[in-house]
Chain A
Amino acid sequence: MSKYLLDKFLFTVDRDAELVERYRDDPVAFVAWWEQHVANDLLNCATAEASTWQAFTEVERAALCAQDHVQLFELGAHPFLTLTLFIALFERDHGPLEYQRGYARAMARHSLPYPDYST
């Protein structure tokens, strides 16, 4: 399990407007590209210093490809990172606060304690 890498995906995509659009338009191809080209980047370090061991599990990769925020929550992705990126992806298709409230309703089956998002 690689909660850190899920968070790294959400973090690096959210801050880049072009990556947000690519993830919205073709999530399966984008997740594959990201895992191959970005997952091992050591942020703020030269490309040559990249890590060598970062990879998603099958379940994590599938959740990102499905853009399934409920499953990301269950896998322990940081809820703030997921919410922020998914608002960027999908709020535009909805009325004011409609997306945020639907996002919550989709998670209604979850009660405390929530999945652990510590890394």
Chain B
Amino acid sequence: MATVAAVIASTHHPFYYRASTSTGADRPPFADEWVAKIEAFRETLTRAEPDVLVMVGSDHFHQLWLDNMPQFLVGKAPMYDANWHNEEREFGLPRMRFTGQEDLSAHILRNGLDAGFDLAFSNELRIDHSITCPIITLRPQADLPIVPIYTNIFAPPLPRPARFVALGRAIRAMVESWPSDARVAIVGTGHLSLELGGPRQFGDHGPDPQFDRKAVEWIAGGDVDGCLAEVTLDSLHLPGNATHGFMDFMLMMGVAGDGAKADYVDSLDLFHTMEAYFTWYPNGVAS
């Protein structure tokens, strides 16, 4: 069976690509520190020597729209084009293309359906920055086949937080039951407190630093119960109007496992939102 080589949870900041590649007067003052943190984070995936990446993210109203909105969707395609016109326009993100791992997609769809998750699927999916950002930060050579999994954290009614955790647990079990000798890294991105299109956006810090500190503690300590006890669909409006993206972090806590302390934790306080990076090695890693 396949081996879970690493579980990684991260924010996906669309400004990283431009900040890290800009030079001279265009380079923001925080870029060097940010790049150093990302390179250290990248090493945690490199050390795991993955063959396949399961990538959990959320479509930002690119391909998935309100006339036909899935709650959870698994890509099953041989190739994925990536990044969209408005991400090139606003963030300077490059067009990218990835190979798909269709066997694992099929395995997750079949077993997910059988486990009670009515997963939607797509045979032609263009990926957006929720998945390309972590590839840019963690695997910039973009050389590994992927299985993209999208969650709805954007368009109410949303699944509840416990459902995200449960799907994370199921994804972990499904990867571990995949008849393959591949080493699979499961990578998911979400948000800490975040405001988009509201009065608290683009401040000097994330809109709710207190929530961010608590969130990092929940994730780093694998405190699934503590997190679920406090986080609801209603409560997530309070730290910032786009904070429902935190449920993708909760999904990754489900992947990592109850009580699983992260082997690597880092964060970076930026304007607008806090960055946070976590890696678990469920089966250890070569030193």
What is A's interface to B at a CB cutoff of 8 Å?
4, 7-8, 11, 14-15, 17, 42-44, 69, 73, 78-84, 87-88, 97, 100-101, 103-105, 107-110, 112-114, 117-119
Residues of the A chain whose Cβ atoms lie less than 8 Å from the Cβ of B241: 79, 114
The distance in angstroms between the C-alpha atoms of A73 and B155, with both chains bound, is 15
The distance in angstroms between the C-alpha atoms of A110 and B201, with both chains bound, is 12
Q: Within the complex, which residue of A8, A17, A110 is in contact with B198, where a contact is CB–CB below 8 Å? A: A110
The distance in angstroms between the C-alpha atoms of A104 and B196, with both chains bound, is 9
* Residue B29 is within 8 A (CB to CB) of chain A in the complex: no
Residues of the A chain whose Cβ atoms lie less than 8 Å from the Cβ of B197: 69, 73, 78-83, 103
What is B's interface to A at a CB cutoff of 8 Å?
60-62, 65-68, 84-86, 89-90, 154-157, 196-203, 237-238, 241-242, 271
Residues of the B chain whose Cβ atoms lie less than 8 Å from the Cβ of A43: 65, 67
Do A88 and B89 have beta carbons less than 8 Å apart?
yes
Name the distance in Å between B120's Cβ and chain A's nearest Cβ: 15
Do A15 and B66 have beta carbons less than 8 Å apart?
no
Closest B residue to A77 by beta carbon equals B197
| Chain A binding surface SS class | helix
Closest B residue to A72 by beta carbon equals B197
Closest A residue to B234 by beta carbon equals A113
Name the distance in Å between A95's Cβ and chain B's nearest Cβ: 13
Question: Quick one: given A11-B65, A83-B201, are A112 and B238 in contact (CB under 8 Å)?
Answer: yes
Name the distance in Å between B23's Cβ and chain A's nearest Cβ: 16
Question: Quick one: given A7-B66, A118-B157, are A14 and B86 in contact (CB under 8 Å)?
Answer: yes
Name the distance in Å between B190's Cβ and chain A's nearest Cβ: 15
Question: Quick one: given A4-B66, A118-B157, are A80 and B196 in contact (CB under 8 Å)?
Answer: yes
Do B85 and A87 have beta carbons less than 8 Å apart?
no
Do B199 and A108 have beta carbons less than 8 Å apart?
yes
The distance in angstroms between the C-alpha atoms of A84 and B86, with both chains bound, is 8
Question: Quick one: given A84-B86, A114-B241, are A8 and B202 in contact (CB under 8 Å)?
Answer: no
Residues of the A chain whose Cβ atoms lie less than 8 Å from the Cβ of B271: 97
Question: Quick one: given A84-B86, A114-B241, A119-B155, are A42 and B67 in contact (CB under 8 Å)?
Answer: yes
